[in-house]
Amino acid sequence: MDLKSNHTPVLADAAPITKSRLGVHSSLLPYSPTGATFPHGMLLTIPRKKTGLLEDVRSSSWLDAMKSSSPPPRKITKDVSHGFASHESDAAYFNWLLKYPSALTSFEQITNYAKGKRIALFLDYDGTLSPIVDNPDCAFMSDNMRDAVKKVAEYFPTAIISGRSRDKVYEFIGLTELYYAGSHGMDIIGPVRQAVPDNHPNCTIRSTDKQGKEVNLFQPAAEFLPLIDEVFESLVESTKDIKGAKVENNKFCVSVHYRNVDDKSWDLVGQIVHDILKGYPRLRLTHGRKVLEVRPVIDWDKGKAVTFLLESLGLSNCDDVLPIYIGDDRTDEDAFKVLREGNKGYGILVSSAPKESNAVYSLRDPSEVMEFLKSLVETCQEVSCSRFAHRRPLMVATTLSLPCCFVQTSNLLWQL
């Protein structure tokens, strides 16, 4: 394959998908609207970014760039007299909360705005559903968090959008009720798209799961797979003598973790990655939390993944839809920006340290994320009990594009 040309991406994994690779249960399909289907063979032309781009990183300031993307955690103390946790830099943090108020303390405001709307929920994984840990292979979510995500997915279409490979994040979560987008949205399993937006031609492959239900596989960077594998092997070999360095193949991107590397060797890690990428002008470098990520040079990110999934769910360009995206990292800012610029929904930043963001609200850590998800579920349950106890549910086989006088609860439609 000629990876130096600028032709349209082709898609990988055309073969039927097994349940273990899919990570999606047929119960998701009721969220999909009915209508026309896409013809095979149509591909999306993904705009190319400038080749050789090294984002946030310059060879003359590796160490500063790596440190700025990975601020140390703040120490938290308990204010006994007021009953809340406070930071060493109280003034800075609480001033920051004025700009990015807690989604928990603002929960009533959020739910009031959500009245008459359909919520679509998007979640990052690391640092959002699971804590940041020294070994990325041990970033397990708690059973309580898994239960909270499972329950919230009973009420709202819920997707995981992670920098991890799709298969890997599914192994961590293990819930078939969700949609999964790995590699920063470059590997998406979603419902069969039923309508073709004029400005967004089809770029998916139709396949089926073990239950025989149709699903769509979206991989706009599939042509880069050989290149990604080649760079992965080079990085593993070049960093093998750096204690604590870990190189992770996330299918359409390569992550170089330096969390466990002595900070005196951070510049060495950065220089190695920089030197290797000099030979790969069609790959770019971005920063995460103590991780350098090598990604294809295409104009695709988590924000575009959110837009794609909303379209796939039949929820785009609808005044009665409220997307909520919760994430903690720089790569989540693209999703926050999409929701903020279009006034489409809310971004919620997970952070215990003040930092600029495109998000509207904030949560301190995964424990507060879990509390927020549980609050959503409890609100839905209270509404169902108080308002719908005397109503008869209307059974439907599929979910349609509903007017705001309906609320979806699992496979039931309740009339308000």
Domain total in the chain: 2
Q: Are 309 and 283 in a shared domain?
A: no
Task: Please tell me the chain's helix, strand, coil percentages from 3-state DSSP, rounded to the nearest 5.
Answer: 35, 20, 45
The CATH number of the domain where 272 resides is what?
A: 3.30.70.1020
Residues 6+ apart with CB under 8 A from 343: none
Q: Are residues 312 and 270 in the same domain?
A: no
The H-or-E segment that residue 76 falls in is strand 76-79
User: Is there a catalytic annotation at residue 124?
Assistant: yes
Long-range contacts of 354-359 (CB under 8 A, 24+ apart): 354/89, 354/92, 354/93, 354/95, 354/96, 355/71, 355/96, 357/100, 357/333, 358/333, 359/100, 359/333
The whole-model pTM stands at 0.74
Please, are residues 244 and 262 in contact by the beta-carbon 8 Å criterion? yes
Answer yes or no: do 304 and 292 share one domain.
no
> Which residues, listed in sequence order, are joined to residue 121 by a DSSP beta bridge?
158, 324
| E-state strands within 250-384 | 254-257, 283-288, 291-296, 321-327, 346-350, 361-363
In order along its 416 residues, the chain shows pLDDT tens digits of 444 444 333 334 433 333 333 333 333 233 333 333 333 333 344 555 555 444 444 444 555 666 665 555 554 444 433 445 454 567 888 999 999 999 999 999 999 999 999 999 999 999 999 999 989 999 999 999 999 999 999 999 999 999 999 999 999 999 988 999 999 999 998 777 655 444 445 466 776 654 566 778 889 999 999 999 999 999 999 999 999 999 999 999 999 999 999 989 999 999 999 999 999 999 999 988 899 999 999 999 999 999 999 998 999 888 899 999 999 999 999 999 999 987 889 999 999 999 999 999 999 999 999 999 999 999 988 876 544 333 333 322 223 233 333 334 433 333 22
- 263 is in which domain, residue-wise? 225-296
- The string of pLDDT tens digits covering residues 41-59 is 333 445 555 554 444 444 4
Q: Considering 13, 64, 124, 143, which one is annotated as catalytic?
A: 124
On whether both 311 and 258 belong to a single domain, the answer is: no
Q: What is the pLDDT of residue 62?
A: 57
Same domain, 216 and 365: yes
Tell me which residue has tokens 């929960």.
Answer: 107
Using the 3D structure, point to which of 249, 267, 296 is the last residue of a domain.
296
Same domain, 253 and 341: no
Question: Burial level of 192, CB count in 10 A (0-12/13-18/19+)?
Answer: buried
Sheet containing 254-257, strands listed edge to edge, beginning at the edge strand earlier in sequence: 246-249, 254-257, 291-296, 283-288
> Would 97 be classed as within a structural domain?
yes
Residue 20 falls inside a structural domain = no
Query: Within a domain: residue 401?
Result: no
283/306 same-domain check: no
381 phi/psi in degrees, rounded to 5: -65, -40
Q: What is the CATH number of the domain that holds 346?
A: 3.40.50.1000
